[in-house]
A = this chain, B = another copy of it.
């Protein structure tokens, strides 16, 4: 007997999470084990609220999937609801009732660390109950910090946006022939992958950004000022890429050195202002022209500039998730394995959700130079293929137009 599938999206938006959703829908529509594909609005919250969209109906015209694939952010919406420990059964029982009511045999959750925790808990709950409901996680995060997978869908497009606008920030900074420092603050609370992608910009500019600071290495204010001064002797224009999560030796974020900070619902410290702090520090200590730029949410939903590799592979990993579920796999997160490092080839596989839920994969310390202010060639080799290729953004009257339900 055919069962139905629920797909949902969770965590922060990326430019590729809809491509994965499109892959899931494509896989599910093609499967002869699946009757109806439902989309839950606003993540697991949509399951609890029985807030579903019949995706089989919406995507009867399959061309619409191409439009969804190239639409940034999350067409189904997201939530930040974290499920409690399994002993608190009430919410799990409620989800189970909804799954029964809608004859759900498959649940695909597209998200980051916290979403994999949700998928993991649900899988354990269903297993313990002896229910044949397959739960699969599909990774997504611009932070690229999920364990086990070579990289995460969404990261490549974010890295492409970061490195692209950096080429333009460098050109902008070069127009005046005067010493100037530009500090670009890049997302990635605890993992420096996205900030490291700033190094790709050098493939275009030849020299900048010259200084790159990741959260994996302690940030030293005096060393930073010395780095800037030394770089200024080589070039008028010093471009600095710094992670929003850069921390000094006592563990405080740079932003905490000058201002208060907020906490999100997961207890993560919400940081911003590392760039602004360093801007002020340079004004104070060096007195030269300085500007800070916070790339903010632009970097996580840049639909107008996508990595084709990212979007295509995000679609494929979504499709593969459904295929895995249909072949009986559950409690797994889909992963990319880089099978050829020289020519960048990858295959799609899966790993236990236990091995990814709540873990953060940091940027490797041996890919950071000993001075702590740049990444190595090995890092660039890893990053380079992930931003490759362009997609044709759907445009109308000079503006992107996004898929909407």
Contacts and interface: CB of A to CB of B under 8 A. Distances in A.
Interface in A366-405: 384, 387-390, 395-402
B176 A298 contact: no
A137 B73 CA distance: 43
Given A42-B177, A305-B305, A172 B300 contact: yes
Nearest to A388: B398
Nearest to A167: B400
B176 A79 contact: yes
Nearest to A173: B297
Interface in A158-180: 160, 163-165, 167-169, 171-172, 174-177
B78 A176 contact: yes
Contact of A399 (B163, B174, B396, B398): B163
A3 interface: no
Given A305-B305, A402-B171, A176 B389 contact: no
Nearest to A73: B171
A81 to B, nearest CB: 10
B293 A293 contact: no
A72 interface: yes
Contacts of A402: 167, 171, 204
A297 B79 contact: no
Q: Give the one of A42, A73, A389 with max B CB within 10 A.
A: A73
Copies of this protein in the assembly total: 2
Contacts of A41: 177
Contact of A13 (B79, B80, B175, B301): B175
A203 interface: yes
A80 B398 contact: no
A307 interface: yes
A251 to B, nearest CB: 25
B304 A399 contact: no
A201 interface: yes
Nearest to A200: B399
A385 to B, nearest CB: 8
A169 B82 CA distance: 25
Given A203-B396, A293-B294, A387-B398, 20 more contacts: A12-B175, A13-B171, A13-B175, A72-B168, A72-B171, A73-B172, A163-B398, A168-B302, A169-B298, A200-B398, A200-B399, A203-B399, A204-B399, A291-B297, A293-B296, A293-B297, A293-B298, A294-B296, A305-B305, A384-B397
The list of the 5 closest CB pairs from A to B, nearest first, reads A73-B171, A387-B398, A388-B398, A78-B175, A74-B175
Interface of A: 12-13, 41-42, 45, 71-74, 77-80, 160, 163-165, 167-169, 171-172, 174-177, 200-201, 203-204, 291, 293-294, 296-298, 300-305, 307, 384, 387-390, 395-402
11 contacts: A73-B172, A77-B177, A78-B175, A160-B399, A163-B399, A294-B296, A298-B298, A384-B398, A387-B398, A387-B399, A390-B398
